[in-house]
Chains A and B, each alone.
Chain A
Amino acid sequence: MSKATANWEKVGDKFYRKVRLYKEVFDLDLELENYKVVGAPYSGAVAIYRDEDKIHSYRGTQGAKSSIDIYSCAGNLIRRINWDKGSIKGLGWSEDEKLLIVTEDGTVRCYYDLQGDFTPFTLGHGAEEHGVLECRFWSSGFVALLGNNHLIAVNRYDEPRPKLLAIPPTEPVVSWSIIPPAYSLSRSVEVILAIGKTLYVVDATDAEDRDFTAGPFQHISVSPRGEFLAFYTEDGKVWVVSGDWTEKLSEYNSKAKTVPKDMQWCGSNAVALAWEDEVHLIGPRSVATKFYYDAWIHLLPDMDGIRLLTNDVCEYLQKVPDVTEEVFRLGSESPAAYLLEAAEQLEKKSPKADDLIQLIRPNLAEAVDTCVKAAGHEFNIHWQKQLLKAASFGKSVLDLYSSDDFVDMCETLRVLNAARFYEIGLPLSYDQYKRLTPEKLIERLINRHEYLLALRISDYLHLPTDKIYVHWASQKVRVSIEDEESICRLIVQKLHGKAGVSFEEIARAAYDEGRARLATELLNYEPRAGKQVPLLLGMKEDTIALDKAIESGDTDLIYHVLLHLRKKLPLASFFRTINSRPVATALVESSARYQDRELLKDLYYQDDRRLDGANLLVAEALDQTNTPARIDKLKLASKLLQDSRENVFAAKAIDDTAKLLRMQDTFEKDLGPGFVGLSINETIFTLVKAGHTKRAAKIQSEFKVPEHTFWWVRLRALVAARHWNELESLGQQRKSPIGWEPFFNEILGAGNTRVASGFIPKCTGLSVPERIEMWVKCGLVVKAGEEALKAKDRPALEELKAKATGTAIAEIERLIGMLPPARK
């Protein structure tokens, strides 16, 4: 076994390693130098297409057909997308392995599953006229540079909203790059443009000149987390500037005459320059090392390193992780290095093993941790094993040690090694795997149709498996040539009892494939009613969709179906459909009330709901602005109710309304405004208050207002108008249907004690103490005394005496004197 440090390279005081991932990647006939090559983040797939700017040898008609080929890192062709849609100006990947293709006319196609299915959208903002020049991608979006230097940013692909950024100067752009929103100071995407000798930083709101004079800059590269920027100047120098532009950190002179074809960051601590077959790796403090190849080289930057791709090999260049360095560095005296040595000695059954362990005894736990971590960063299975063995050995010596990390690492490595296997070709590094998360790894495997491995890994890591099954089944439905019956049976059999399986998705796949019957059959297995609705609508199973929506209880879904039906069906059949479903009817009613009264009228008419129809007309009458229009509406309402017996009351009331409105109209003509809109009682009130007693009486008789109501209203109106005389003359009448007490209370409330007191003697129904109270309220203590005397109520008189003032005291005393002497 070669040494673990064999592929290390020292750059300054740091080590870098170049791990050979795969050999014999591409067909040697493939002229990789004529291709553009882009790799998906997290060691994902590689897309290549022939660079149109370069000439290439003629290979017959087959070769002339242009296509975009998607390979795994190991060189397995995953998919070939035939391309005849125009000149490609941008090719890039998103974090979740969506392939984005931007053509010159601003059309973007988002291939979401590695299998050639795509969703298109256009950039707009003048992309069509000016043409797209180039695009730069980040994990979840991209920026396109147009011919007129306008920049268009797309922030997400599920609902793309292309946005025009601030407008930079129009001089030609030498080179450019972007800072992803997650790492920019403003939290939105920023673009760095090299124009002339200077640099511009452009975001959504402004384009700022950074005042550089060292340009023109031939390359700009932003480190993966945006903390450093690298620039390549025309005189062959590489500048590294901190991400906040405050500090120039280093300058390196490449002494090269030709401009490198690419410059990329390798992790966040080194910059790689690539010429055709040569790579310079520049570490901090301007130290560098050089690698030479015998074929054209492509750089595929990733979050923690760079993949180097030639026809023959796929290599991974990264800074040696600290833990790995600690274990393997020559002459390392770290406990972990000793532990590894001890484990090796143990294998040789040498007593040295124990000596070494004793030596690092105090730091043993730390050494075990380091070995576990280093194993994770190792690509070579042999060294993974060695390190884990060492950790295991160290662990056994310790009394107390939690093995969780060790177990987790073993699991992780198993998964990683399976994914790195050349048939799968996902050479994830440990850090990439942690960032990517196992769930996303499963997704990638599903997209590659590696169902078995995906299932195994999911089971192994206790992750949900439903998506895998669903994807498998959908695929089965798409490609299987068996008859529908057996496909359905097969799918149901396989998926039976698996939690979370969405039959709706499978059914959709079947429907999209034109297998409607299969779709319906599969849909029956879907437990979620709501899920089925959109598909059912698509399949034109309208009534079933409506029933399912109602079943789900989600009013949004029901509305959705109803809107759909309303547009599609003629009115009569629409009503027929909702008629037998009360919830649907209720929803149509309540939404139509504000939006579509005519529809509601038709609905009521169809259902023979006369009273509702009439009330709707009354409501419409309320909205009219003049009396004749209102009366017209009311007439219609009344007509609706005419020949139904149970609505006599409502019909009469509606007729009354019209009559009242007509009378009020006349009043307004005769007496001035302020009548229309009042109720009957209010009309009487207003009339009485203004002194039109006759008209008030007419209203009373016309509408058969009960006496007690009329008296009350008249009382309130007279009090409000302070017509005391009328009130007193009313008091001359023998009887009042509401008694006289209200007169007293209302008048007293209005503050006229004199008139109020006039009503006290008439309140014969009340008890003596109550009447005494009334007198007192009017301030007439003496009168109260007389009342008490009449009732021969000595205690009351005594009480009154206490309340009395001035002459009244004497009066009360006189009254007390008139009482027959109390019996002792």
Chain B
Amino acid sequence: MAPQTTLSTSEIGEKARRDLLLLLEGVRGKKNLVLEKALAGPLNLLVKVSTLQEYGVDKLFFLENDNIDSSQRNVVFLVRGEKARTVMAVADQIKRLRRSSQIDHEFSIFWSPRRTMVSDQILEEAGVLGEVSVSELALYFVPLADDLLSLELEDAFSDLYLSKDPTSIYLSAKALMLMQQKHGLFPRIIGKGDNAKRLADLLIRMRTEVTAGESSSTNGPSFLGLTPSSSMDTLIVIDREVDYPTVLLSQLTYEGLIDEFFGIQSNQTEVDSSIVGAASQQQPGQNSGSAATQSQTLKRKIAIDAKDTLYSTLGDSNFAIVGNLLNKVARRLQTSYESRQIANKTTAELRDFVAKLPGYQAEQASLKLHTSLAEEIIKRTRTDTFLRTLEVQQNVMSGADPSTQHDTINELIDRGVPLPTVLRLLCLESCTSAGMRAKDLENFKRAILHAYGHQHLITLASLEKMGLLTARSGGLGGAAAKPGSVTNYAPLRRNLRVWDDEVNEAEPNDISYAFSGYAPLSVRLVQSIVQKQQLASLVKPAGQQAAAAAQGWRLFEDAAKNIRGATFNETQSGEEKAVKARQMLNGSGHADSGKTVVVFFLGGICRAEVAAMRFVARKLAESGGKKLLICTTGIVKGDGVVGAAIETGRFGRGI
């Protein structure tokens, strides 16, 4: 299903894996590995616990738990060095262990993805730098699927939009730069959003810096690498800020709903075993000794694996048809299983059948799992709150006057539904209508403080800072909002057909299927660059298809103007000589086909959005054109987006 890319994502994963194992090998003998929790997911994607054990890892600890014991002389930290807080935690634990343990420990720290000056400074001040051996693990992109690379930066969203900390932009630029160094320059960088612009600027700056410096010191084929790539096409950067609503909405694909209800962490979800039954076999030694708590024994870890044939058909489908799909598979399995009964089989047929048996069994197990999962999801989607929430979302997105929805939202607050649900609805309204009316906003704020506690004063302030929940400016006497500072949805519904009334969930004909009506703005933007004709014909059926193969934004410039954030379009051409050399090597007339368009979602992407992107990718592939590779700083979902703002402290013990 997922499109093939010449930039192989598995290659990236394989390299990261090798680097890690090499580093582990460098520490002689058995060792205890201390992980930052945020790195557990990516690590899990790269190596199995058993492999780690082969490389001498005895026990795994989480840095946050602060419970490293002195069972091994070697202690290895694998942590991110960007935040002073983490570095201090490492320093504290080294000091603690040194004080409390009888053994003379050997400490190693692998900073990921890079060793920072700040970390050195802090370790030095703590007086431990002299005793640790420090290395770097350049872990940037982790492949989540064949067409999906993620930096897995959990904090990227809150850093970027709440603290305005551009670290993740820098790391993204680094990661993309590595890609460019390997495959050549993106011939064109197009994007939308202020942070996206910053990323593009950084990329261009880094390019001049690389040509200015490091290329010569690192011996590699980098001089040729900095000409426009022959395997990569445009880089499209979409800033999450441009399109908050998409992540605030309830995702309606199967995978999206799993994420909404159970949460998916680096392709792994944890579901109560009462729903899916206990795991058939416990993975031995999983987080032995440290992370295992009682509550986990009741949970079962399920890998969300795009390579599972059944799941690959289910994952990106709208949930409405998942039941049917499961049904079909069940029936197929049934018949093929029954065909066994036919007594007069030749031995050859029997051999064939037996050979397929393990496949059947795996499929059967997978079917059982997903049926029970789907049942649970159905149960939850039938609840009153879910339906009410969905109703509000659909109404808001289709362009109904949001104030008509206020009663429903008020009722939801009165009923005490979880805070994130309410906040998502309020933010959705605020984002789609350029802020809320000051009076309404005040009422809702009061209602939230009353219902969920006054600590959420901080939550509300944070949401405002992120631009998620704001008062409409220009109400009383103030000038209308600056163009480009807010997104105006009314014209977009027309220009980009962000709302699709004729949605078809069973046989999708447009990306709107992923949200049962709403076509994610972010994906529409991508379409307006890579699928101009199709989109144009979709927006204005019949006639006016004079859309030439204009590059960049043209054709949708007007639409782009209605969306907040900077719009940019940069071309990158290499040195003339090198370009010519490259052309000579490749022969001149090669077509676009086979080239990969890289779409980078700065600030995160949600799973239903990925599904929509894949839909676009399929269409692109059908029209014999380019391939799509989705890159992001991390997978996000609505609860996480508003969760970044939610204050977790309480006055008092609570109940």
Contact = CB atoms under 8 A, between A and B. Distances in A.
B28 A556 contact: no
Q: How large is the interface on B (under 10, 10 to 19, 20 to 34, 35 or more residues)?
A: 35 or more
Nearest to B655: A674
Contacts of B452: 679, 681
A738 B414 contact: yes
Could you say which of A552, A627, A680, A738 has the most chain B C-beta atoms within 10 Å of its C-beta?
A: A680
A708 B410 contact: yes
A582 B651 contact: no
Given A622-B650, A653-B454, A716-B416, A560 B117 contact: yes
Given A502-B213, A678-B655, A553 B165 contact: no
Given A466-B216, A555-B166, A559-B84, A527 B445 contact: no
B415 A500 contact: no
Contacts of B413: 709
B216 A681 contact: no
Interface string B630-655: 00000000000000000101111111
Interface in A498-526: 499-502
Question: Looking at A661, A679, A703, A745, which has the most chain B CB atoms within 10 Å of its CB?
Answer: A679
A709 B451 contact: yes
A527 B461 contact: no
Interface stretch (B204-212, B297-305, B307-315): B204-212
A467 B219 CA distance: 13
A589 interface: yes
A502 B210 CA distance: 11
A567 B651 CA distance: 35
Interface stretch (B138-146, B167-175, B242-250, B607-615): B167-175
B202 interface: yes
Contacts of B114: 556
A660 interface: yes
B95 interface: no
Given A553-B169, A622-B649, A661-B651, A681 B451 contact: yes
Interface of A is mostly: helix
A528 B457 contact: no
B272 interface: no
A618 B449 CA distance: 13
A740 to B, nearest CB: 14
Interface stretch (A342-350, A590-598, A798-806): A590-598
A621 to B, nearest CB: 7
A549 to B, nearest CB: 10
A677 B651 contact: yes
B216 A499 contact: yes
Interface string B431-454: 000000000001001110111111
Contacts of A501: 212
Interface residues of A, number: 77
Given A528-B213, A649-B442, A622 B647 contact: yes
A345 to B, nearest CB: 44
B216 A618 contact: no
Interface in B343-384: 384
Contact of B455 (A502, A553, A618, A745): A618
A279 B392 CA distance: 96
Nearest to B461: A615
A618 B458 contact: yes
A500 B450 CA distance: 62
B213 A679 contact: no
Contacts of B442: 649
A321 interface: no
Contact of B414 (A621, A630, A653, A712): A712
A513 to B, nearest CB: 23
B82 interface: yes
B561 interface: no
A583 interface: yes
Interface string A618-662: 110111000100100000000000000000011001101100110
A34 B80 CA distance: 55
B163 A677 contact: no
A109 interface: no
Nearest to A595: B84
B330 to A, nearest CB: 30
Which of A502, A556, A738 gathers the greatest number of chain B CB atoms within 10 Å?
A: A556
Contacts of B92: none
A612 B209 CA distance: 38
Given A594-B85, A679-B451, A713 B414 contact: yes
Contacts of B654: 677-678
B286 interface: no
A531 B647 CA distance: 39
A679 B414 contact: no
Which one of B82, B212, B446, B651 has the greatest number of beta carbons of chain A within 10 Å?
B651
Nearest to B115: A556
A-B CB proximity, top 4 nearest = A677-B652, A464-B216, A676-B652, A622-B649
25 contacts: A188-B28, A499-B212, A499-B216, A500-B211, A500-B212, A500-B217, A501-B212, A502-B213, A555-B165, A582-B164, A583-B166, A587-B165, A589-B163, A611-B461, A615-B458, A622-B651, A630-B651, A674-B655, A676-B652, A677-B650, A679-B454, A680-B451, A705-B450, A709-B413, A712-B411
Interface of B: 28-29, 82-85, 88, 114, 116-118, 121, 130-131, 133-134, 159, 163-167, 169-170, 173, 198, 201-202, 205, 208-209, 211-217, 219, 384, 410-411, 413-416, 442, 445-447, 449-455, 457-458, 461, 647, 649-655
Interface of A: 159, 161, 186-188, 204-205, 439, 464, 466-467, 499-502, 527-531, 551-557, 559-560, 563, 582-583, 586-587, 589-591, 593-595, 611-612, 615, 618-619, 621-623, 627, 630, 649-650, 653-654, 656-657, 660-661, 664, 674, 676-682, 703, 705-706, 708-709, 712-713, 716, 738, 745
Given A464-B215, A676-B651, A709-B451, 11 more contacts: A161-B133, A188-B28, A466-B217, A499-B216, A586-B164, A594-B85, A612-B461, A618-B455, A650-B461, A653-B449, A709-B410
